[in-house]
Structure 1
Amino acid sequence: MLRRWPLLVALFIGCASVPAVADLPERQEREALRVCADGNNLPFSNEAGEGFENRIAELMAEDMGVPLAYVWSPQVMGFVRNTLELRVCDLMIGAVAGYEFVQNTNEVYRSVYALVVPEASDLEATRLTDPALRGRRIGVVTETPPLVPLRRTGATVQSYPLMVDTRVRAPVRDAIADVVAGRTEGAVLWGPLAGYYAALEEPPLRVIPLADDDSGARLDYRITMGIRRGEPHWKDWLNDFIDRHRDEIHAILTEYGVPLLDRRGQLHSGTDGGES
C-alpha cells in the first residue's frame, strides 16, 4: 500500500481539498481525550505510545482528568475527513499553522529543516546558499522545500521518493543510513525527523538547524494542534493548556531532539524552546 510521507511534511507542499465540517453543536462534556493519530509515525506517534505527540497527549489527558483514547489512521490524504470530520476523535496533536482544513490552536512549537552530518564531518552550513555545500553529495526527500535551493547552490543531490510503501521503505531512514554508510556527506531533513533519527545512530550524527537560511525556501514551520471548526470552547481550553504547559511540552520535544525556534525564528539557546 502506498502511503504519503508523514502528513506533517505533506502539508508543506499542498494537499487535496476535503469537504467542510458539518455544522453540529460543540460537545460540552468530554468523557475521554480522543486523539486522531497515526499508529506508525515516529517520532510523532505510534500505537506503543513512543512518540512525542503521544507524550503530549498523555500530559493533556492527565490535566483533563479523563482517559486517553486514540483513533488510529494512516496520515495520508483524507486523514482529516476520516477522523475529525467523522467526529470519531477530537484532536490532531500536530498540524501546520494555516492548514485550512482544521481550526488551528495557538502555536505548540516551531521547528526548521536541518542538515545532518557525521560527527567528524568538516561540513558546516546553517543556510542552503552556503558555498560549503557546493559539490557535496546531500540527501533530500524529493518535493520537499530544500530540494531546489540545494541544486541551485551546486550540491549533488541524492533524492529519496516522497511516495513509498512504508512496509518496505522509509525515506528519512534511508537518507540517514546513507549518511552513516558514507554514500552521502549529509542530508537535509525536517527538524523533528532529523533530530530523532540522528540520535538513534551510534555514534549519533550531528544535527545543524538551518536557522540562518536566506534561500527564499520555506524551511521553518509553526506547529499547532488541529480541531474541527465551530468549537470555540475546545479551542480556548487547548490554548490555555498550551500556555500553562509550554515548558513541559518543550522539554518533551527537546528530549526527542527537535530543533526549536523562538517566535522570532531564532534558534533557541539550549533548544529548550522558551520565549526570549
Structure 2
Amino acid sequence: MRAWVKTVALIGLCFGGFPAGAQTSDLVSQSSFRVCADPANAPMSSRDGTGFENKLAEFFAAKLEMPVQYEWYPMSTGFIRNTLRANKCDVVIGYAQGHEMVLNTNHYFTSAYTLVTQADGPIADVDSLSDPRLQGLRLGVVAGSPPATHLARNGLIAQAQAYNLVVDRRHESPIPDMLADLEAGTIDGALIWGPIAGPLVKTDHPGLRVTPLLKETLPPRLFFRITMGVRLGEKVWQRKLNSLIRRNQQEINQILTDAGVPLINDMGTDLLAAAE
C-alpha cells in the first residue's frame, strides 16, 4: 500500500538505550534509530523532515535518546530488499498490518480511504460509494486501489478518472495531481487513502473536505491497521517497538491528529474522538 497505502522500550526503560539483558539482533543498531524511508513521499515521509512519519521517527528516537539515521530509497519495487533486508536500516515507520515482506509490530493507528470533495459542494456529506448522488459523476481513483472495486460494483467506473498506483514520487505525484484536478473541476470527487488526503487537504487545500468511507460492508475493505515493519525473525526488536507503541499511544495519536490523519477505531466503523 505504498503509500497506502506503506520504538523502542521495554517496561522499566527510562527513556534511554536498551535495558540490560534485553539484547536485540546484532543487525539492529545500538547507537542510532535507523529508519528506512522514501525521501519524496509527503505527507508521510520527506527528506526535509516535514512528514508525519518523520515526526514519529523523531519521537521514538527521543524516547531512546538516540539520533535518527535515515536510509532513503523510493518506495517502489525493491524498497524492502534494498533497505531493511540489506541491513541498512532497522524499521519502516508505516506498513500495513499482515504484509508478508516484513515482521509487523502491533498496529499504532487505523485509518481508511476517503472521499475528498468541495467543502461546499452537493456531495460534501456523501460517506458511501453506493450513494445515488454519485451516479453520473467523474471520480478520481488510484488504479488498482480498493475503492476501484467499489466504483465498479456501483456502476461508477466508466466515468472514473484513473491515476497511477506505483510511481517514483521524485518524478510523478498522482495524489497532488488528483487534488488539483478536483479544485479545477476536472473531477467531482477524489478517492484517496486518508493518511495522504487528510494532511494534504489540511495544509494545501482548505476549500476541500475529507470524508472517511466507513459504511462499506462488502469487500474489499477500505480501512487498514498500520504498523511498523522490521526484518523477518527480529522478534526481540519487534517486542521493543510494541512496548514503545503501547506506552505512548496517546502521544502517537496526537502527532497523527495534528498532521491531519483521520483516525478510526480498530473495526473501521467510527472516527476516534479527538481526545483519544
Return the letter of the residue paired with 2:145: T
- The structure-2 alpha-carbon separation of the partners of 1:43 and 1:87, relative to structure 1 and needing over 3 Å to count, comes to same
* C-alpha distance in 1 between matches for 2:211 and 2:202: 13
Equivalence map 1:191-270=2 (5 Å): 191-270=194-273
CA root-mean-square deviation: 1.9
* C-alpha distance in 2 between matches for 1:243 and 1:166: 32
TM-score by length of 1: 0.86
What's the CA shift for 1:165? 5.5
- Residue 122 in structure 1 maps to residue 122 in structure 2: yes
Corresponding pairs, count: 255
Does the CA contact (< 8 Å) of 1:139 and 1:187 recur in 2?
A: yes
Offset from partner CA, 1:73-127 (integer Å, 9 cap, x none):
1111111111111111100001110010111000111110000001111202222
What's the CA shift for 1:167? 4.0
* C-alpha distance in 1 between matches for 2:203 and 2:155: 30
What's the CA shift for 1:43? 1.1
* C-alpha distance in 1 between matches for 2:232 and 2:168: 33
Equivalence map 1:136-155=2 (5 Å): 136-155=137-156
What's the CA shift for 1:137? 1.3
What's the CA shift for 1:206? 0.4
What's the CA shift for 1:150? 1.4
What's the CA shift for 1:268? 2.4
* C-alpha distance in 2 between matches for 1:186 and 1:271: 26
- 2:97 is matched with 97
- The structure-2 alpha-carbon separation of the partners of 1:163 and 1:106, relative to structure 1 and needing over 3 Å to count, comes to closer
What's the CA shift for 1:217? 2.1
**Higher normalized contact order (CA 8 Å, seq sep 6+, divided by chain length):** 2
**Structure 1 unpaired stretches of 5+:** 1-5, 12-24
What's the CA shift for 1:169? 3.0
Structure 2 counterpart SS, 1:224: strand
Taking only the aligned residue pairs, the percentage that are identical comes to 41
Does the CA contact (< 8 Å) of 1:94 and 1:223 recur in 2?
A: yes
Structure 1 counterpart SS, 2:146: coil
Return the letter of the residue paired with 1:246: Q
- 1:36 is matched with 36
Offset from partner CA, 1:146-179 (integer Å, 9 cap, x none):
1131133233211112244644431101110111
- The structure-2 alpha-carbon separation of the partners of 1:250 and 1:89, relative to structure 1 and needing over 3 Å to count, comes to same
* C-alpha distance in 1 between matches for 2:110 and 2:47: 25
**Structure 2 unpaired stretches of 5+:** 7-23
